[in-house]
Amino acid sequence: MARGLSEEQLAAYFTLTEVGNLLEQAVSDQLRADGDLSPVQFQVLATLGEPGAPDYRMTDLADRIVYSRSGFSYQAGQLEKRGLIARERDGHDERSTVVRLTAQGRDLLARVMPGHVEVVRELLLEALPPRDLQTLRGVLDPVRDRLRSRPPRSARPRRRTG
């Protein structure tokens, strides 16, 4: 089995997967309790709320969060209904929609973040000496960049319309 992959390599991959799953499960409970948010919704808000965040179009966020456009439209609708984000026409390209965080969205993010950070600290960081954390970043950043550089789903050709 695992043609050309060592046990070691496969094990590392499965560990990465399992850590991701277990972490998401715990985080999911916290986000639901503190802000009635799904992990995906939190990710949208957090991405928009990052310090030097650029303007995002719908497609940009869909690609980043790993959603089909339609799926992201749905989520954006949910968040907009709650007044957490706003959508407005892009002045440069009338086809595009720019998404931004509202004041309410920023508030909710601020309200959810402490508990979120607490969970992350407890589950991830306390098991990681600062030195290892830095190592983790050094190791994963190139992987992330490699993954980001792949053509996103939105780049797939669409079927001809009737």
Partner DNA sequence: TATTGTTATACTCTATAACTATA
Partner DNA sequence: TATAGTTATAGAGTATAACAATA
Which positions lie near DNA, rule CB under 7 A? 38, 40-41, 57-60, 67-78, 87, 90, 93-97, 154, 157-159, 161-162
From the list a copy of itself, DNA, none, pick the one residue 103 interacts with, judged by a Cβ distance below 5 to 8 Å according to partner type.
none
Q: How far is the CB of 38 from a copy of itself (least distance, A)?
A: 13
Which CB, 81 or 131, lies closer to DNA?
A: 81
DSSP symbols for 109-130 = HHHHHHHHHHHHHHHTGGGS-H
Site of interaction with a copy of itself (CB under 8 A): 1-5, 8-26, 43, 46, 64-66, 110, 113-114, 117, 120-121, 123-128, 132-144, 146-148, 150, 153
Residue number, 3 or 159, with CB nearest to DNA? 159
In terms of CB distance, is 30 or 41 closer to DNA? 41
Q: Could you tell me the smallest distance in angstroms from the CB atom of residue 88 to a copy of itself?
A: 25
φ, ψ of residue 101 in degrees (nearest 5): -80, 135
81 binds, among DNA, a copy of itself, none (CB under 5 to 8 A by kind): none
Beta strands in 29-132 (DSSP E): 56-57, 85-89, 97-101
Q: Which is nearest to 38 in space by CA: 137, 139, 111, 112?
A: 112
Q: What residues have CB less than 8 Å from 83, skipping those under 6 apart? A: 102, 104, 105
Q: Which does 19 bind (CB under 5 to 8 A by kind): DNA, a copy of itself, none?
A: a copy of itself
Cα-only R_g, the chain? 18
Q: Which does 78 bind (CB under 5 to 8 A by kind): DNA, a copy of itself, none?
A: DNA
Closest to DNA by CB, 40 or 45: 40
Token representation of residue 16: 């990465």
Tell me which residue of 81, 48, 51 sits closest to 65, measured CA to CA: 48
What's the token pair of residue 32? 């639901």
